[in-house]
């Protein structure tokens, strides 16, 4: 991937408030996004609550997850005085822009979206045919890429850090914005996606990719005793402490690399390679390194969760800033399409 000049970029990304972050999210998405925000000229991060509505159908749950996700990002280092931090639902312009973009978006483009295709494929596998392949799929899922395009285009995000699964959505945003500009004039800024390269695959406690759906995840914020139990459950082979082991083959070492200092990493590596480092001791070191990394964030997280008005204040200030640009974008769009 080409090196991107971030000194002029407006980095923008959204997070669905649908689950508590686990260590895989933290290492693979949250930490790099916060680092990127610090390098970029400007950064925007929002809670994609209207996207969550496709999944969550309970008022309390949606509210709780919104605060939980906001508190998580703030606790893990998001600086709301640097990053414009807001709720999607506080920016009404996004939804009017969605309506406008819908008029220039081919239905066939939505048919090709991965999330929609995955849902219809599942129905087909279950034996559904004809109109029934759309069983249980709502329009929110179907038109998801248009709303996501509006999320990006309204505040004029130029660089969108995403996981690989979201690249297609950013490409669709470019397609949709390109159609609009082609029809009405150069109003919308076309964004680039940005995939962080370094992190690779983060294993869960069973060695598969860490994912809530596999049940092998370690939540970022949890009771220390519970976390210790999870770390101790990490799957290993049956090599004895004094036997040499390949560190690159070990889930413990792979996780340790993201939390330990260079000297600590080298020490565990040597212990594995030369023999003398047992799995039990390695797990203990891993647990301690995770605890050290998350000690301060955990405190902050609990304080923030107990003070929702404080979170609200930041989100409202962020929304005010994001709306300034969104209003301007919407104004320009309305003008070129012939609405006053
Ligand atoms: N679709 C993203 C996800 O599922 C979340 C999201 C919504 C987003 N709108 C966005 C990400 C705009 C980047 C830009 O993770």
Where in the sequence is the domain holding 291, given as residue range(s)? 221-300
In order of 13, 138, 203, 205, 277, the CA distances from 236 in angstroms are 37, 43, 13, 9, 13
Residues 322 and 278 in one domain: no
141-158 confidence digits (pLDDT tens): 999 999 999 999 999 999
Whether residue 215 is contained in a domain is answered as no
Specify the ligand 1 atom closest to the Cα of 147. Answer: 9
Ligand 1 pocket test: which of 11, 12, 13 has the largest number of ligand atoms within 8 Å of its C-beta?
A: 13
Residues 166 and 122 in one domain: yes
Ligand 1 surroundings by CB, under 6 angstroms? 13-14, 16, 48, 51, 148, 151-152, 160, 162, 166, 169
Full-model pTM: 0.94
Distance from residue 204's CA to the centre of ligand 1 (Å): 23
Protein residue with its CA nearest to atom 4 in ligand 1: 16
Whether residue 192 is contained in a domain is answered as yes
Q: For residue 264, give the H/E element and its range.
A: helix 262-274
Beta-bridge partners for 87: 47
Whether residue 4 is contained in a domain is answered as no
Ligand 1 pocket test: which of 14, 30, 157 has the largest number of ligand atoms within 8 Å of its C-beta?
A: 14
270-287 confidence digits (pLDDT tens): 999 999 999 999 999 999
Q: Please give the tally of structural domains in the chain.
A: 2
Residues 229 and 187 in one domain: no
Whether residue 322 is contained in a domain is answered as yes
pLDDT by residue, tens only, the chain of 340 residues? 456 788 899 999 999 999 999 999 999 999 999 999 999 999 999 999 999 999 999 999 999 999 999 999 999 999 999 999 999 999 999 999 999 999 999 999 999 999 999 999 999 999 999 999 999 999 999 999 999 999 999 999 999 998 888 999 999 999 999 999 999 999 999 999 998 765 567 999 999 999 999 999 999 999 999 999 999 999 999 999 999 999 999 999 999 999 999 999 999 999 999 999 999 999 999 999 999 999 999 999 999 999 999 999 999 999 999 999 999 999 999 999 999 8
172: how many CB neighbours lie within 10 A of its CB? 20
Residues 34 and 88 in one domain: yes
% of residues, the chain, pLDDT over 70:
98
194-230 confidence digits (pLDDT tens): 987 655 679 999 999 999 999 999 999 999 999 999 9
Could you give phi then psi for residue 10, rounded to 5 degrees?
A: -105, 100
Specify the ligand 1 atom closest to the Cα of 161. Answer: 13
Residues 23 and 149 in one domain: yes
**CATH number, domain with residue 76:** 3.40.50.620
Torsion-angle region of residue 338: left (phi > 0), alpha (psi -120 to 50) or beta? left
């Amino acid at each position: 991937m080409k090196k991107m000049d971030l000194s002029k970029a407006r980095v923008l990304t959204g997070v669905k408030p649908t689950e508590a972050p686990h260590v895989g999210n933290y290492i693979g998405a949250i930490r790099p996004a916060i680092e990127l925000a610090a390098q970029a000229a400007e950064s925007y991060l929002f809670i994609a609550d209207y996207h969550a509505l496709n999944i969550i159908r309970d008022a309390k749950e949606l509210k709780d997850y919104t605060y939980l996700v906001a508190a998580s990002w703030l606790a893990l280092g998001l600086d709301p005085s640097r990053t414009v931090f807001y709720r999607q639902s506080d920016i009404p312009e996004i939804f009017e822009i969605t309506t406008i973009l819908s008029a220039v978006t081919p239905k066939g483009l939505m048919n090709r979206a991965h999330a929609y295709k995955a849902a219809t494929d599942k129905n087909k596998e279950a034996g559904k045919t004809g109109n029934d392949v759309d069983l249980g799929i709502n329009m929110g899922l179907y038109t998801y890429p248009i709303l996501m395009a509006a999320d990006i285009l309204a505040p004029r995000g130029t660089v969108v850090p995403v996981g690989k699964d979201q690249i297609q959505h950013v490409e669709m945003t470019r397609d949709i914005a390109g159609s609009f500009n082609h029809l009405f004039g150069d109003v919308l800024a076309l964004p680039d996606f940005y995939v962080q390269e370094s992190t690779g695959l983060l294993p869960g406690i069973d060695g598969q990719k860490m994912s809530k759906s596999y049940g092998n995840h370690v939540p970022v914020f949890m009771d220390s005793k519970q976390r210790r139990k999870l770390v101790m459950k990490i799957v290993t082979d049956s090599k004895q402490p004094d036997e040499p082991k390949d560190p690159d083959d070990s889930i413990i070492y792979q996780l340790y690399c993201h939390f330990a200092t260079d000297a600590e990493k080298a020490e565990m590596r040597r212990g594995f390679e030369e023999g003398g480092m047992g799995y039990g001791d390695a797990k203990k070191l891993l647990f301690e390194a995770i605890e050290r990394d998350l000690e301060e964030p955990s405190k902050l997280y609990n304080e923030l969760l107990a003070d929702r008005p404080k979170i609200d204040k930041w989100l409202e200030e962020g929304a005010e800033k994001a709306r300034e640009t969104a209003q301007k974008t919407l104004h320009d769009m309305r003008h070129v399409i012939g609405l006053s």
